[in-house]
Structure 1
Amino acid sequence: MNDRISNPILRGFNPDPSIVRVGEDFFVATSTFEWFPGVQIHHSRDLVHWRLATRPLRRPEQLDMRGAPDSCGVWAPDLTYADGRFWLVYTDVKRFGQSTLDGATGLTLRDFHNYFVTCDRIDGEWSDPVYLNSSGFDPALFHDDDGRSWLLNMLWDHRPTKPRFAGIVAQELDRGTGKLLGGRHLIFEGTERGFTEGPHLYKRDGWYHLLVAEGGTGWEHAVVMARSRNLFGPYEVHPDGAVLTSFGKHDLPLTRAGHGDLVELADGTPWIGYLCGRPLPGRERCVLGRETALQPMQWGDDGWLRTIRGDALPDPAPPAPDLPPAPWPATPWEGSFDTPDLPQDLQWLRTPHPEALFSLSARPGHLRLYGRESLGSHFTQALVARRQQHFRYTATTQVEFDPAHFQQAAGLICYYNGTKYHYLFVTRDGDARQLQIMSSSPVDGGSSVVTVAPDLPRGPIDLRVEVDLDELRFAWRPQGDRDWQLAPALDASVLSDEVSFSGLPNFTGAFVGMACQDMAGTAAPADFAFFRYEGRDSD
């Protein structure tokens, strides 16, 4: 029997959880933003042990994020079950920017397109998307007990004199045709916390309970609830204020708590899944991004939901439910490329056409990356990586690459987005094959390129990165050498939401992986023999 749940249950960049129970099975869907395939769905039978079941948005007809800015793409999926099918609604964000009117007044014009897909099996082939609306983000479906379904989403107001987060709207969805019916209804304008988003609706004892995220997705984030006897309101706000938040308590092990969703066990016990962040010790920087945590709740005698202790705080180690233990068979990837498909640990950026980026068959036993666009590109990057899930880790790879000139590069990368990364790569300067480090950061002087090996020998090169909290150190050695050559330490903490250029969205997390560029457009290939990741956290 598992006595405690160790939060977060989904570690490293798994934000905006939506949770649903179907019989004895629990499923959690989380945001993937610009990473392809879209949406992660994890599966558990005891709320303790979780496995990645599927990434459902994997066909070009379902998702194409080429051109989407950093931290755009797939936001806040909502997973429900009705009519014997799973329903997944999500936002595909195409633009996150500000336009200027008359050189003074800021118009924040953004493009949020909401869709749904369905499937009768969580790991099956999901349908082509059905377009819903573009009025705001964070869509969710509520299936009422009268058989009707309703689409909820926050309402975006671009007008300069209006609140951007204009409240929560609801509109009926015909599940049979996929069409929206009637007009939209503004059902809740939010509280003084502002940034009202992430709506979910539940019905209990004749009350409609509306759960929203407020306070922004940083340190003031919170789960807020309101209730009404009528779906359209008016809604009475929870008398305690936030139902769950870590605001004002930055020393907690789980911070930034908010954006939740409720699920009931078979015995009726309510649980909440929510996003959280774990900052580096002594630094308000969450290099692991926003993660997913889970804890039990309780309904009070007054009909309001509260934490078990009544303190509205996230619990890093809540009691596990009384369910039979259900661990999944251990199937760790050992780092080789001897399978026809990309290992599940890895993802790539934006494009639904991975064949233009990489191949596992061109050179058997290797991952071949074809040199594509720069690390700042929003279109076609040959970058394949996995989430950083530990504060301390070691990643190693071996690359075979013979660049013809300085516009070709390939190597090992620690990446947050196109403005924040540390990259150890093989390139060429004149007649010399070299090893260089490129860093990009909003702090510490911006960007830099340093040559660390001015004349590399021919043949494969082993590359390594060791991350220890906020320190990142690259190393390298020619194949066959025993000793590693070390590069100077770099700041790993810049690969976090909290370090950013002004006005740019930062909603993801740090990744580590392999990359290849060919700015001459000739798609020069780089072959990677393996990629190994080893977490070294004490827990």
Structure 2
Amino acid sequence: MTISNPVLTGFHADPSMIRVGDTYYIASSTFEWFPGIRLHESKDLEHWTTLPYPLGAEQLDMRGDPASGGVWAPDLSYADGRFWIVYSDVHIVNGAFKDVVNYLTTAEDIRGPWSRPVRLNGVGFDASLFHDDDGRKYLVQQTWDHREYRHAFHGITLTEFDASTMRLKPETARTIWNGTDVRLVEGPHLYRIGGWYYLFCAEGGTVWTHQEVVARSRTLDALSFEGSPTNPFLTNYDTPRSYLQKQGHGALVDTPSGEWYYASLCARPWHHETESVTDPRGWCTLGRETSIQKVGWDEDGWPYVVGGHGGQRYVESPKDAIAPAGAPAGRDQHDEFDSDTLGLDWNTLRMPFGPAMGSVGGGSLRLIGQGSLCNTFDLSLVARRWQAFDFDAETCVAFDPKTYQAMAGLTNYYNDQHWSWAFVTYDEDRGARVIEVAQNDRNRYTSFLRGRAPVVPEGVERVWLRTRVRTRWYTYEYSFDGEDWRELPVRLDAKVLSDDYVNQTYGGFFTGAFVGLAAVDYSGYGEVATFDHFDYREL
């Protein structure tokens, strides 16, 4: 058996991996997307099943959080007969401050119910909980410094946590490591192995210079950790032609038989035919995904990535891996909206799906038009991750607007500043419904069809919409019967929906492209759009 990377495709960043018995679990970041924290389980490290999200309305309120704010780097652990998750809610992305709040929630069953969150602190993001062999617990976290004359990433802070009161002991806080000269030290995870405390941290920023480094100490005293002489442990900075890029931030796990593996974020760039493969290194429309590398230990007790610090696309599976009983589930999705709840692949922005957005069940998804796709408070958008470079997505919508301020359709979306869609709206000059294609590129809005927008004939109740994504470019199509399709004459550059393009102008570039359904009515009258199915098919 072989692990084929990435094991979690599409936006699955900052993996925190643990093992309980013969089962592995991964928690990954969701940022401004709701529900919060993506969970998966596996028995072979290759095939992963999506689990219910742990953060519902009681644990999370992200109204107003900026793009790529919200839930950063959840840490999953297991101790004392229960699962523990520490997560950050980041309220500011750009500028001198982060204004982060760290929370803790627990559950006896990974599927929940999860407890109401305990507020921990705001010292820095990427906090993790370390359960020591003597029963003591510590919060380990990146430390943020807003002062312009200091480096913003101010080392790794360790603070003792009292499990009896569920509170930190601030008087115990100390910096245990400042990182290497690469700087931007974050994503700490602490392990006790063979008499040593091993500290794994990400550095270099989550871009092409990203890396994972290791330090160790016999104690948890201030500044007692020493970096590995073989750092970096994992990086693709010097392997620009590797299939996997940006590897770094992640977590270590052992198997029941004593093998070791490391789960890391990664990315897979593509290029336009006219571009160099090294500068720019490429465009990652699928966002930061999850890869797994095998780990060995040298004679001095330092860990290393088998095959070299650039990692491998194909990795040897654990000797004790348990293959799935049936055929592994594919990533294709077909939803007739028969259930009165949305499936696990669906996500909304900042708030849970509820009556303010619409309703689902009985064969339709009904979205109430709210704010525009630029809105960070009230938005009726239901979307799923892009998980392949090439796919088709289709829907059918019944919508009868009487103003150009009301729109409903199919969107490809990165964040409030970068998105496009094909939608039904009203053209007062022609006194008819029309189908338009528009794009928001760095908050520059463009209507492509204008007076050429196809008119929806009188008596046509439903309009079919489809997008065809082909790695570098994507298009939209429409139909009035679901069989006779016509292409809308607009070809859009997929790089606009990539981490790397967003990073050129905005500091929050941590998610990935989504495809989904949306209704807008910024007139405030709440025009309703009814979608009767959604289909996502990878090629």
TM category (shorter chain) comes to over 0.9
Which residue is 2:385 aligned to? 387
For residue 484 of structure 1, report the CA deviation from its aligned partner. Answer: 2.5
Q: Which amino acid aligns with 1:336?
A: E
Kept in 2, the 8 Å contact 1:63–1:352? The answer is no
- In the TM superposition, what is the alpha-carbon distance from 1:148 to its structure 2 partner? 0.3
Following superposition of structure 1 onto structure 2, how do residues 175-190 of structure 1 map, counting pairs within 5 Å?
A: 175-181=163-169, 182-190=171-179
Say yes or no: does 1:306 pair with 2:304: yes
Shift of 1:453: 2.6
Aligned to 1:235: 225
2:404 to 403, 406, 410: 406
CA separation in 2, counterparts of 1:246 and 1:370? 45
Tell me the CA shift for residue 459 of structure 1: 1.4
State the partner residue of 2:530. 527
Task: Tell me, yes or no, if the aligned pair for 2:333 and 2:536 is still in contact at 8 Å.
Answer: no
- Percent identity over paired residues: 42
Q: 1:504-523: CA deviations, max 9, x gaps?
A: 31100000010110001111
- Distance in 1 (CA, whole Å) between partners of 2:466 and 2:353 is 29
Q: Does 2:503 correspond to 1:487?
A: no
Deviation at 1:354, TM superposition (A): 2.4
Which amino acid counterpart does residue 525 of structure 2 have in structure 1? Answer: T
Q: What per-residue deviation string (whole Å, max 9, x for no partner) do you get for residues 18-77 of structure 1? A: 00100011000000000000000100011111110121001x220010000000000000
Contact 2:52/2:344 (<8 A) preserved: no
Counterpart residue number, 1:152: 140
Q: String of CA shifts for 1:333-378, please: whole Å, max 9, x gaps.
A: 42211111112211110013522112014xx211001101111111
Deviation at 1:485, TM superposition (A): 3.3
Measure, in 2, the Cα distance between the counterparts of 1:407 and 1:328.
49
What pairs up with 1:246-395 in 2 under 5 angstroms? 246-281=236-271, 282=277, 284-309=282-307, 311-322=308-319, 323-327=321-325, 333-352=333-352, 354-361=354-361, 364-395=362-393
**Superposed CA offset, 1:273-304 (max 9, x none):** 00000001446110000000112101111100
Aligned to 2:84, which of 64, 84, 87?
87
Show CA shifts across 1:77-113 (max 9, x none).
0000011000000100112232xxxxxxxxx022110
Shift of 1:329: 5.8
Map of 2:154 onto structure 1: 166
Alpha-carbon distance, 1:480 to partner: 5.2
Tell me, in whole angstroms, the C-alpha distance in 1 between the residues paired with 2:62 and 2:351: 6
Secondary structure of the corresponding residue to residue 232 of structure 2: strand
Tell me the CA shift for residue 529 of structure 1: 0.8
Q: Distance in 2 between matches of 1:327 and 1:420?
A: 41
Tell me how far apart the structure 2 counterparts of residues 432 and 406 of structure 1 sit (CA, whole Å).
Answer: 10
CA distance in 2, matches of 1:173, 1:291: 31
Q: After TM superposition, where is structure 1 displaced by more than 3 Å over at least 4 residues in a row? A: 327-333
CA distance in structure 1 between the aligned counterparts of 2:476 and 2:454, rounded to whole angstroms? 16
1:313 is matched by which residue type in structure 2? G
State how far apart, in whole Å, the 2-side matches of 1:133 and 1:294 are: 31
The one of 228, 245, 250 equivalent to 2:235 is: 245
Paired with 1:216 and 1:493, the residues of 2 have a C-alpha distance of: 20
In 2 relative to 1, CA 328–89 (structure 1 residues): closer, same or farther, beyond 3 Å? farther
Partner of 2:60: 63
Match of 2:513 in 1: 510
Residue segments in structure 1 that go unaligned for 5+ positions in a row:
99-107
1:225 and 2:214 aligned: yes
Match of 1:105 in 2: none
Q: Structure 2 CA distance, aligned partners of 1:328 and 1:418?
A: 40
Alpha-carbon distance, 1:382 to partner: 0.4
Determine the structure 1 residue equivalent to 2:2: 4
Is residue 7–residue 317 contact of structure 1 (8 Å, CA) maintained in 2? yes
Partner of 1:103: none
Kindly state the Cα deviation for residue 442 of structure 1 after the two structures are TM-superposed: 3.3
Question: Pairwise mapping of residues 202-217 of structure 1 onto structure 2 (< 5 A)?
Answer: 202-217=191-206
Aligned residues, how many?
519
| Contact 1:49/1:328, CA 8 A, preserved across alignment | no
- Alpha-carbon contact 1:371-1:516 (below 8 Å) kept: yes
Q: Distance in 2 between matches of 1:535 and 1:525?
A: 30
Task: Please state how far the C-alpha of 1:483 moved relative to its aligned partner.
Answer: 3.4
Partner Cα separation in structure 2 for residue 250 and residue 480 of structure 1: 44
Deviation at 1:314, TM superposition (A): 1.6
| Residue aligning to 1:101 | none
Q: Which residue of 1 aligns with 2:101?
A: 113
Aligned counterparts of 2:432 and 2:471: Cα–Cα separation in 1:
35
**Structure 1 residues 513 and 57: CA distance shift in structure 2, 3 A:** same
SS at match of 2:495: helix
Q: For residue 138 of structure 1, what is the amino acid of its counterpart?
A: D
CA distance in 1, matches of 2:495, 2:482: 33
Rate the CA distance shift 1:480–1:138 in 2: closer, same or farther, 3 A. Answer: closer
SS in 1 for 2:501: coil
- What TM-score comes out, normalization by structure 2 length? 0.94
For 1:468, the equivalent position in structure 2 comes to 470
C-alpha separation between the residues in 1 aligned to 2:136 and 2:74? 20
1:241 partner SS: coil
8 A Cα contact 1:278 1:288, kept in partner? yes
Match of 1:498, SS state, is helix
- Give the TM-score normalised by the residue count of structure 1: 0.94
User: In structure 1, what is the equivalent of residue 274 of structure 2?
Assistant: none
In structure 2, C-alpha distance between the alignment counterparts of 1:505 and 1:308, rounded to whole Å: 32
CA distance in 2, matches of 1:509, 1:161: 33
Contact residue 364 and residue 530 of structure 2 kept, 8 A: yes
Kindly provide the amino acid, as one letter, of the partner of residue 223 in structure 1. E
Give the secondary structure class of the aligned counterpart of 2:334.
Answer: coil
Q: 2:18 aligns to what?
A: 20
Root-mean-square deviation (Å): 1.5
Which residue number in structure 2 is paired with residue 102 of structure 1? none
Q: Select the residue among 416, 419, 422 that pairs with 2:417.
A: 419
Task: Flag the 1:234–1:340 CA change in 2: closer, same or farther, 3 A.
Answer: same
Structure-2 separation of matches of 1:168 and 1:381: 37
Residues 139-182 of structure 1: per-residue CA shift (max 9 Å, x gap)? 00110000001001110000010000000000011122211123
Q: Distance in 2 between matches of 1:242 and 1:87?
A: 29
What is the CA–CA distance in structure 2 between the aligned matches of 1:78 and 1:483, rounded to whole Å? 46
